[in-house]
Amino acid sequence: MYRSIIGKLIYAANCARPDLAVAVSFLCRYMQSPKSIHMEAAKHTLRYLKGTAELGLEYRAQKVYKLVGYSDADYAQDKQDRKSFTGYVFILSGGPITWACRKQVSPASSSVESEYMSLSDASKECFWINQLLSLCKIPVPLPVTMFEDNQGCIALAQNPVFHRRTKHIDVRYHVVRHYIRSGVIHLEYLDTQVMLADMFTKNLGRVKFETLRGLLGMKAVGDSATRGGVEHAMLSQTSAVDNAREFGWETMVDNLCLF
């Protein structure tokens, strides 16, 4: 039962509910031998999904498509192996088009190093997105602005000189420097309080979580909205609630929560 629930949550988190990413990532750790506490956490996530079934992603047509990325990391989050968590998200046309929340493959010796490793993964994702958009005949201005909330990480990425405290970093992570020199990405500092990628690295308090969720572009969909005096119809003509009913999500949640 636990694996069935998590499988469905993974589908939702990957397709249309980036706000579930961290919760699902944590729940996936216990797929092998879940305990009652893990089942309760899974049910809690299902109840959250049911209570926010109206939330969805909205994308708006633009004359010039601008891609923006956000990268963050939570240093040594896992108390067992002390590995950090990578989180990033890319915004296009007013909504997220790709996001990630995953544990890093090796422990980082500092917060700067963990942020640098996350930024490297995000920069490779950015390059892939550019290639994909190019094939789809959707031109995106370069360089792509990527926001980072660690000044030390930005300095490390822009300065090719090895330092005794950073020269041990695996060569593969220095690909971010190549993308900067090639004009693929441009780094800018962003305060942690408004760093969207923060919600992909750790569990947040309710106030900050809901704030970042709104900044991410998640909102109640299905009704037209007025911006600047011009009424724009949302791309989806049916609400997220209707979609949930269509795919049986509400029924699924009701049934699973009975166990």
CATH number at residue 66: 3.30.420.10
Domain assignment present for 77 = yes
Tokens for 199, please give them.
């919600």
Is 115 found in the same domain as 134?
yes
At 160-196, the pLDDT tens digits run 665 666 777 777 788 999 999 999 999 999 999 999 9
User: What is the rounded distance in angstroms from the CA atom of residue 119 to the CA atom of residue 70?
Assistant: 9
Domain assignment present for 256 = no
Q: Answer yes or no: are the C-beta atoms of 108 and 84 closer than 8 Å.
A: yes
Is 42 found in the same domain as 60?
no
Q: Answer yes or no: are the C-beta atoms of 2 and 36 closer than 8 Å.
A: no
The average pLDDT across 57-67 equals 90
Is 49 found in the same domain as 30?
yes
Count of structural domains, the chain = 2
Domain assignment present for 76 = yes
Q: Of 201, 210, 207, which is closest to residue 77 (Cα–Cα)?
A: 201
Is 205 found in the same domain as 146?
yes
Is 183 found in the same domain as 79?
yes
Is 120 found in the same domain as 27?
no
35 CB contacts (<8 Å, ≥6 apart)?
none
Among positive and negative, which fits the CA dihedral 16, 22, 26, 27?
A: negative
Least confident of 28-32, 124-128, 202-206, 220-224: 220-224
Domain that holds residue 188: 56-220
Confidence band of 56 (pLDDT split at 50, 70, 90): very high
Q: Answer yes or no: are the C-beta atoms of 74 and 200 closer than 8 Å.
A: no
pLDDT at 247 over 90: no
User: What is the rounded distance in angstroms from the CA atom of residue 88 to the CA atom of residue 117?
Assistant: 11
State the pTM of this model: 0.82
Is 120 found in the same domain as 16?
no
Is 48 found in the same domain as 70?
no
pLDDT at 226 over 80: no
Alpha helix segments (H runs only) across the chain = 2-15, 21-27, 36-51, 111-135, 151-158, 175-181, 206-216, 240-246, 249-256
Domain assignment present for 190 = yes
Is 183 found in the same domain as 92?
yes
Is 44 found in the same domain as 76?
no
Question: 53, 76, 96: which is the final residue of a domain?
Answer: 53
Domain assignment present for 87 = yes
Is 132 found in the same domain as 37?
no
Q: Which pLDDT does position 20 carry in this prediction?
A: 97
Domain assignment present for 253 = no
Domain assignment present for 63 = yes
Give, for 88, the enclosing helix (H) or strand (E).
Answer: strand 85-92
Q: Answer yes or no: are the C-beta atoms of 98 and 89 closer than 8 Å.
A: yes
Is 186 found in the same domain as 148?
yes
Question: 12, 29, 53: which is the final residue of a domain?
Answer: 53
